[in-house]
A and B are shown apart, each in its own frame.
Chain A
Amino acid sequence: MLARSAASGSVMFKDQTAIVGIGQTRYGKALPESELELGCQAVLSALEDAGLRASDVDAVGCFTYEKTPEFELARNIGFGELHFFAQSPYGGGAACGAVGQVALAIAAGIANVGVVWRSRKRSGADTRLWSGVEERISDHWKWSRPSGLVRPVDEVAMIARRYMDEYKVTREQLAEVALAQREYANRNPAAFMHDRMLSTAQYLDARMISDPLCLYDNCLETDGAVAVVLTRSDRAHELRQKPVLVHAFSQGMTREHQVMADYHGADPLRSSSYVTAANLWRQADCGPSGVSVAQFYDAFSPLVLFSLEAYGFCARGTAGQFVAEGGTRLCGRLPVNTSGGSLSEVYLHGMNLVVEAVRQVRGTSTAQVSDVDFSLVTTCDSTPNGALLLRRA
C-alpha cells in the first residue's frame, strides 16, 4: 500500500499549468479536407487564440487512435524542436489523458508549450471501427463479438439494461439526456445539430439501434478537429486569453477491467469512472458541490447517467430522476454537455468536451453558466478513462 499512502504529490501538479488556447474547425459530414489538414487548422486556430507561435510548441499529445503521426503535424505546422510527445489510449477514454500527460510534462519542467489535438473523419460508414472486425478474433473481444455484441452501442446496451432494470429508470427519463443536449446544440451555431429540434415523441418513436438504446442515444457520426494549447500558469498571464488552470487530473482503471465489454469485474455497474473520480477529488480543493458545470463523455446517453453518479453528483441509481427533473439543463443544479456534446455538437472522441469545459471557465460558452470556479470534463465510462478539473485563475 506504499504507493497509495504516498500519493499526496498533487501539490506538485495542482494549478501549475493552464490551457491558454482552444481551436476548432467547422463540423460536418464528408468534409473535403484530410484529417491532417483538419488537425492543422484546429491547432493553428488554438495557437492564434493563445497568441503563441507554432515555433513555441515543444510538446504534443494525441490519441493512440489518431491516424496522423506527430511528426507530420509538426512539420506541416512548423513546431519548434519537440521535447515531449505522448499518446493516450482507449479511444473515448483518451482525451483527458492526452491533455493531462502534456500538463504533467510542462509542470515537471520537461516542456514549455504543449498542443493536444484530435482530428477525425467519421462520417463515412466504412470508417467505423466495428465494420473492420475480422473473421477470427484473437483479443478479448473473442468473448463477446461472436455472439453479436459487435458495436460499442451493443456493449453499452448490456450495461444500460441492467442499470435501468435495477434502478427503475424509464426511457422517458433517459430521453432527457438527449433532449437537454439538443437544446444546448440549438444555442450553439457551431453544433452539427444547431438547426434541428428534438422532441420527446421523436425520441420515443425512434428506431432502436441496440435495445434499450435508440438512435438518439447514440453520438453523431461527423468530421472535424479540435485542439488545445497548454503552458505554465506563471507564463499564462502574459498571453491573450484568461488562463484556465489545470487543477486536478487522474486516469482510472478498475481491477479486472475489460475494455468496453467490461462485464467481468466484481460489480460491472461500478466503472473505471469511480476510480478516476476518487483520485480527482482527493487532489482537488473542492468536491462535487463546488463544481457548477460538467462535460461528461457521451458517446451513448446512459454514460452521462453513470458518470453523474460516479463523480458524486447523484447517489447511485438516482441520475435518471436527476436528469428528468432538469438537473442537467442550464437552469438545473449541474448543466452538462453545454455545447451539445457528442450527441448533438460533434463526435470527436470527446475532445470537443475539453474545449467546452475551457469555454465555461472563460465565460464564452453559448450556454454560459454564471460564476464558474471549477469546470469538470470526463472521458468514457466504459473504458479505462480520465478526467480533468479546470479552475478559474
Chain B
Amino acid sequence: MRAFISQHCGRMVFLVGLAGGLAAGWLLFPQLLYSRQAQPMDFNHALHTDDGGMTCEECHPFRDDGSFSGIPTIDVCADCHSDPLGESAAEAVLIAAYIEPAQEVPWFVYARQPQNVYFSHAAHVRLADITCDRCHGFQGTSTTLQPGETNRISTYSRHIWGPRISGGGSQVWDAMKMSDCSACHAQRGVQDSCLMCHK
C-alpha cells in the first residue's frame, strides 16, 4: 500500500487538487456568489387562484393604456384584506405592517430584468399570446415564496441566470438571459434588433 501511495503520490495529489477545484467551482462558488434575502412576508398564490377562484389578471392587470401593472400595490391587497382573512402569520403581517400604515410591500421580484432592458408585457401577452407560465413557471400556483437570491457581483436576480451555476435550468422558464430572449424570438421568427429591448 505504501509502495502504491509512494508510486502514485503525484497523481493523487493532482487529483485531490482537481477535486478541490471542482468542488470549489461547482459547490462552494454558488454559495458565495449569491446572497439570500427572505421575502418580507409569505404569499400563497394557490390559495388565491384555487380556493379564492381568482385569475392572474385580477391582481396583475393591464392598465387602460395597455401597460402592465406588474406587482399589485397595497391598495389592491386592501380591497380584500382590509379586515383579516384568516389567522395566518402572513395575514397578520400584511395587515399590521402594510395595509394599516398604507406601506407598499417591498417584494423581492425574482424576474426583474436589469435597467437597460425594456420589456413589454403587452407585446408578449396580448400580441404574441404567450402565457404567464412561459416565463414565470409555476409561480401562479405556488403555495409559498422562495427567498430571493441576488448575485453579489452583477446584482442581478438569480432567476435571470438560472438555478444552475452553469446557466439555465431544467425548465424553459428557469432563465431569462438575453440569449434566452433571442432564442425565443428566433424560434418565433420575431425581429430582435438591439433597440427592440435596449431603448
Whether A and B are associated in the same complex: the answer reads: no
Identify the A interface with B (CB < 8 A). none
